[in-house]
Amino acid sequence: MTIILYWGDDDYAITKAVSAIQLSALDPAWTSFNYEKIAPEREDGAIAALDAAMTPPFGGGKRVVWLADTTLMQQCSEQLLGDLERTLPQIPATSILLLTSKNKPDGRLKSTKTIQKYANVQEFSLIPPWKTAELSQRVQIVATELGLKLTADAIQLLAESVGNNTRQLYLELAKLQLLAGGAGQRIDRVMVSSLVVANTQTSLQLAAAIRQGDVGTALHLVSELLNHNEPALKIVATLVGQFRTWLWVKMLLEAGEKDDRVIATAAGLGNPKRLFFIKQELQSTTADRLAASLPKLLDLEFQLKRGGETTSTLQMQTIELCRIFGARK
C-alpha cells in the first residue's frame, strides 16, 4: 500500500516530486494504461481516484493515480469520509495513490486524520524571502543533488539572486553546471555573478533606494524589475522581508541591545556578519519610519491581489514609501 500526500505552495518542487514517482513506478510501455491524473474540477474526482487505485495495473510496473489539488483536507462529506476509511487501508501495494494540495491540511478534520494515518506526508512550501539561512541551505541541498560544489559566498549570492523561486534555482544551477564543465570545478561567486540574473538582488536594491527616499532610483528599479518579468507580488515579498529585518534590528538597537547574537537571532539573520553592514545602512533612519513602511507594503500587496494595474500600482506606492523616508529629488 502506497499513499502519498504532497502539500504546499511550491508548485515546481511538487511537480518534480511527482515526476520522480512517475519515473520510478511506471513501466514506460504501460504508462497509458496505468497512469491517471484526476483534475480538481471533476465532481466525482475523489471517488474515481479511490476506485482507480483499487484496480490492479496492466502489464509491468505499478498503477499511479494522481488526485491533483484536492480539497479533501479542507472539506469532506460524511459519505466521502466513509469511503476513505473503507478504501485507504485496502489499496494494494501495486498502486500508488498520490494526493496534492496547495493548502495546509486542516488537522481538525476527520478526513485529514484518516489520510495522515495511511499516507506518507511531505510539505513543499516556499521559504519566506527573509529567511536567508534557509534559502542558502536550500541552494546547498539542490547543488548537492546535482553534484555541484559551490563556495560559501557563491551559495549566498545565489540565494540572494533567486530568492525562493525553486524553478529559477534549478535553471540557474543547470547553467552553472554547464559553465563549470565536467571536471568537478568548484563554482565561486564570480561565476555566479557572471551568469545569474539577480532579480531578487535588484529588489533588495529597490528596498535600499526606498529607505534612502530616492524616488528616481526607486522608480528606475521598479521598471527594471518589471522589464525582467519579475512577478510584482514577489517584489513585494522581498521588500516586506527586507523592511521587517531592518525594523527588528533598528528597534533592538534603539532599545539599547548590545549583543549582536541576540539581534541577529531576533531579526532572523542566517549570517550574523551581515549585522555590521545593516547597522551602517540604518544610521540615517528610525524604527518609526521603518514601522510606518510595513502597512504601506501590505496595502500594496492587497491592491495587487485585487487586480490593480501592476506598473502604476507599484510606481504610486513606491513614491509613497519614499515619502516616509524623506524623498530626495
The CATH class for the domain spanning 199-324 reads: mainly alpha
- Decide: 145 and 173 in contact? Cβ < 8 Å: no
Digit-by-digit pLDDT tens for the chain (329 residues) are 589 999 998 999 999 999 999 999 999 999 999 999 998 888 889 999 999 999 999 988 999 999 999 999 999 999 999 999 999 999 999 999 999 999 899 999 999 999 999 999 999 988 877 677 888 899 999 999 888 889 888 898 888 888 888 888 998 898 888 877 755 678 888 888 888 766 665 788 899 999 999 898 899 889 888 887 888 998 898 899 889 999 999 999 999 888 888 888 888 776 667 788 888 889 889 999 999 999 999 999 999 999 889 999 999 999 999 999 874 44
The predicted structure's pLDDT at residue 329: 40
Q: How far apart are CA 176 and CA 163, in angstroms?
A: 17
Q: Spell out the residues 6+ positions from residue 41 whose beta carbon is closer than 8 angstroms to its own.
A: none
How large is the angle between the packed helices 78-87 and 110-118, nearest 10 degrees? 10
Q: How far apart are CA 298 and CA 300, in angstroms?
A: 5
Using DSSP's 3-state secondary structure scheme, residue 4 falls into strand
**How is residue 328 written as a grid cell?**
530626495
DSSP string, 298-325: HHHHHHHHTT--HHHHHHHHHHHHHHHT
Strand stretches in 114-246, DSSP E: 120-123
Give the fold, CATH level 3, of 132-195. Answer: Helicase, Ruva Protein; domain 3 (1.10.8)
- Decide: 72 and 82 in contact? Cβ < 8 Å: no
The predicted structure's pLDDT at residue 262: 86
Distances from the Cα of 186 to the Cα of 83, 118, 206, angstroms: 54, 43, 31
Q: Which residues of 193-232 are buried (b: 16+ CB within 10 A; e: fewer)?
A: eeebbbbbbbbbbbbbbbbbbbbebbbebbeebbeeebeb
The predicted structure's pLDDT at residue 200: 61
Q: Where in the chain is the domain with CATH 1.10.8.60?
A: 132-195
Enter the CATH code of domain 2-123: 3.40.50.300
**How is residue 210 written as a grid cell?**
526606498
The predicted structure's pLDDT at residue 328: 44
Q: Where in the chain is the domain with CATH 3.40.50.300?
A: 2-123
Q: How far apart are CA 152 and CA 270, in angstroms?
A: 13
Distances from the Cα of 22 to the Cα of 34, 70, 155, angstroms: 10, 19, 31
Half-sphere exposure of 291 (CA within 13 A, CB side): 7
Q: Where in the chain is the domain with CATH 1.20.272.10?
A: 199-324
Among 317, 283, 282, which residue's Cα sits nearest to residue 299? Answer: 317
The predicted structure's pLDDT at residue 163: 80
